[in-house]
């Protein structure tokens, strides 16, 4: 368990003027083939390697592959949320509310239109990934980089990625069943980047889904 605490302010999507949220129940009216990647990142003190892997390797590779002739996506949208316990030295209080880093678009070369979206921090040592998953899905904005998702896209393939190196610390009343139901109802595919023991050697195991699924 991580024990380091640094100054951190928990950002909120709803701070300042409220942004219009994405309506999962509404129909799309656009023409584009779109992908929405929603990253839920553990921001506790030991996550530096995982964060760099996602920022420098995994997400750029995903974007390039999605834009390639194999898949031919028109737009790849990226949202990012962090979770841990954020300590505010100014008030002496701690918040376990997930932190909204923003949403942006990815480029065909695997870059980010707005790099602050992947500017995760390292602080704290409390992780409720279940709560963070629900929070991230519920707080996707209706428009990203000035582009309304429903009016721009004909289809939106949604992927939510949980990245953590710890088991769950219970903050919310969310259950495995409720989180799975929320993921299914909003049409996401869940992926997880986690530290797990598979066998006694340290083989680098991996899987790839091809165009046929």
SS3 call for 64 = helix
Question: pLDDT by residue (tens digit) across 116-141?
Answer: 999 998 887 767 778 889 999 999 99
Nearest to 51 by CA among 80, 14, 25: 80
In this structure, are residues 47 and 41 in contact, taking their beta carbons and an 8 Å threshold?
yes
Question: pLDDT by residue (tens digit) across 190-201?
Answer: 998 876 555 555
Average pLDDT over residues 21-32: 97
Average pLDDT over residues 63-84: 95
Residue 173 has a CB neighbour count (10 Å cut-off) of 8
Average pLDDT over residues 23-40: 97
Residue 177 has pLDDT above 70, yes or no: yes
Beta bridge pairs of residue 102: 80
């Amino acid at each position: 368990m991580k024990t380091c605490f640094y100054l951190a302010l928990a950002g909120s999507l709803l701070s300042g003027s409220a942004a219009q949220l994405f309506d999962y129940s509404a129909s799309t009216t656009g023409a584009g083939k779109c992908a929405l990647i929603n990253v839920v990142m553990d921001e506790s003190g030991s996550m530096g390697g995982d964060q760099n892997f996602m920022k420098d390797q995994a997400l750029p590779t995903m974007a390039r592959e999605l834009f390639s002739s194999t898949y031919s996506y028109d737009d790849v949208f990226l949202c990012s949320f962090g979770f841990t316990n954020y300590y505010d030295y100014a008030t002496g209080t701690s918040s376990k509310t997930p932190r909204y880093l923003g949403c942006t678009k990815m480029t065909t070369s695997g870059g980010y239109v707005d790099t602050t979206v992947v500017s995760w921090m390292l602080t704290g040592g409390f992780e409720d990934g279940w709560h963070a998953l629900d929070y991230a899905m519920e707080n996707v904005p209706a428009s990203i980089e000035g582009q309304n998702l429903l009016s721009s896209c004909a289809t939106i393939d949604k992927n939510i990625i949980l990245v953590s190196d710890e088991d769950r610390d219970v903050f919310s009343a969310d259950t495995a069943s409720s989180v799975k139901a929320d993921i299914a109802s909003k049409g996401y595919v869940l992926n997880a980047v986690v530290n797990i023991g598979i066998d006694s050697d340290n083989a680098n195991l991996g899987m790839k889904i091809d165009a046929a699924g």
